[in-house]
Amino acid sequence: MRRLMIFAAFALASCEKVIEPNLRNAAPVTVVEASLELGKSCNVKLTRTRGVGETNASMPVPVSGATVTLSSDHGENDTLPEITHEGHVFDGLYSSVLGTIEGQAGREYTLTITEMSGRKYVARATMPEPVALDSIRLDNLFSTPHERFFQVIPYFQDPAGTDNYYLFEVYVNGARNERFNVRSDRFSDGQYNKRGMFVTATGRVDSVRLEMFGLDKGAHGYYSTLGDANGSVTPANPISNFSGGCLGCFRVCTRQTKMMEISHVQPATY
């Protein structure tokens, strides 16, 4: 029987090997990371795609010299200057540090980016009404000798009668989880949320922090098509809320955080 088991394990085990496919690098494309949070000012980061084979991944190629303007449907207008320090440009960051526009619920914002080359990208997004995150709970699922599987459950009341979109980020011991979680209330409109998200952790879990973002439909569409392309039959780029042919998203969002410290004195009950 033992031999049979060894055979079975042997048979099902997969193996991995690094290969060197001859990849054709596409012409670089601009990537926009733009965020406007409720009650805060807007930050924009402009970078470019790099070749897959390039190794300097920690140094994204910044896009400098672009003109970034923000306006709202309440007649507000703002220009986001590029952040410099003693005359040096930082990483293609544009921010209204002294900005006049702060995110307000219900308003629609338009972000326009014009590169020096003349290429122009425009996105519109609406600030959702904030949804209160009441608390979080951990629910231990099972453990293997190496890994611990649990779920983090955010408790909140989804407002009835409106479409709500959420993005969740989980941090374990201060480190962000590899995957984010994106949801809509398509099947749970007006419900009190008790749905958790699965988390895998190695080693001891001392703290868990959950960030909950409220999004609009366009940003939800972007996040739900971001990632997971790898391995699918037809991997594709996420659907951006920008027009003009760039990658990335203008995220107009609410944000709330709950943190949980885990005491290891008592037998773990999480």
Partner 1 sequence: MTIRRTIITLILSGLALSVASGQQRKATVSGAITDRRTGETLIGVSVARRGPAQKQNENAPNARSNEYGFYSLTLAPGTHILTYSYTGYAPQTVEIELQKDTTLNMALDEASVSIDNITVRAERRHDNVLDPQTGIEHLEVRALERMPVLFGERDVMKSLQLLPGVRNVGEGSSGLTVRGGTADQNLILLDEANVYNASHLMGFFSTFNSDAIKDVTLYKGTAPAQFGGRLASVVDVKMNDGNNRRFGASGGIGLIASRLAVEGPIKKERGSFIVSARRTYADLFLALSSDSAYRGSRLYFYDINAKANYQLGKRDRLFLSGYFGRDVMGYRDMFGIDWGNATGTLRWNHIFGPRLFSNTSFIVSDYSYKVGISNDMLDLAITSRIRDINLRQEFQWFPSERHKLTFGLNTVYHTIVPGQISAPTITNIPRLERRYSWENALFASGEWRATPQLRMIYGLRLATFSVLGPGRFYTYDNQGEATDSVSYGRGRFVKTYVSPEPRLSLNYVIGPRSSLKVGYARNSQFLHLLSNSFITSPTDMWLPASNNIRPGVADQLSLGYFRNMFSDALELSVEGYCKFMSGQIDYRDGADIQANEKVEGELLTGRGRAYGLEILLRKPSGRLNGWAGYTIARSERSIDGINAGRWYPARQDCTHDVSIVANYLLSTRWELSLNWVFTTGNAVTYPSGKYNFEGRTYYYYTERNGYRLPPSHRLDIGATWYVKRTATRESSWNFSLYNAYGRRNPFMIDFRQSEADPKRTEAVQISLFRWVPSFTYNFKFR
Q: Smallest distance, Å, CB 87 to partner 1? A: 25
Q: Smallest distance, Å, CB 259 to partner 1? A: 19
Q: Which is nearer to partner 1, 90 or 149 (CB)?
A: 149
Task: Please tell me whether residue 263 binds partner 1 under the rule CB under 8 A.
Answer: no
Q: Which is nearer to partner 1, 50 or 107 (CB)?
A: 50
**Stretch 140-159 residues interacting with partner 1 (CB under 8 A):** 141-145, 149, 151, 153
**Stretch 178-197 residues interacting with partner 1 (CB under 8 A):** 186-191, 194-196
Contact between 53 and 25 under an 8 Å Cβ cutoff? The reply is: yes
Comparing CA positions, the residue from 253, 259, 260 lying closest to residue 131 is: 253
Q: Smallest distance, Å, CB 179 to partner 1? A: 9
**Stretch 121-140 residues interacting with partner 1 (CB under 8 A):** 139
Query: What would the two tokens of residue 197 be?
Result: 């998200």
Q: Which is nearer to partner 1, 31 or 131 (CB)?
A: 31
Q: Smallest distance, Å, CB 75 to partner 1? A: 30
Contact between 247 and 32 under an 8 Å Cβ cutoff? The reply is: yes
According to DSSP, the residues that pair with 175 across neighbouring strands are 172
According to DSSP, the residues that pair with 137 across neighbouring strands are 153
| Helix/strand/coil for 112 | strand
Q: Which is nearer to partner 1, 100 or 140 (CB)?
A: 140
Question: Binding pattern to partner 1, positions 208-247, x when CB under 8 A?
Answer: -------------x--xxxx-xxxxxxxxxxx-------x
Cα separation, 168 vs 135, whole angstroms: 14
| Helix/strand/coil for 10 | helix
Contact between 141 and 149 under an 8 Å Cβ cutoff? The reply is: yes
**Site size toward partner 1, by CB under 8 A:** 75
> Rounded to the nearest 5°, which phi and psi values hold at 133?
-90, 110
Judge residue 224's burial from the number of C-beta atoms within 10 Å of its C-beta, 0-12 exposed, 13-18 middle, 19 or more buried.
Answer: middle
**Stretch 12-71 residues interacting with partner 1 (CB under 8 A):** 12, 14-21, 23-26, 28-29, 31, 33, 47-58, 60
Q: Which of 10, 75, 264, 269 binds partner 1 (CB under 8 A)?
A: 10
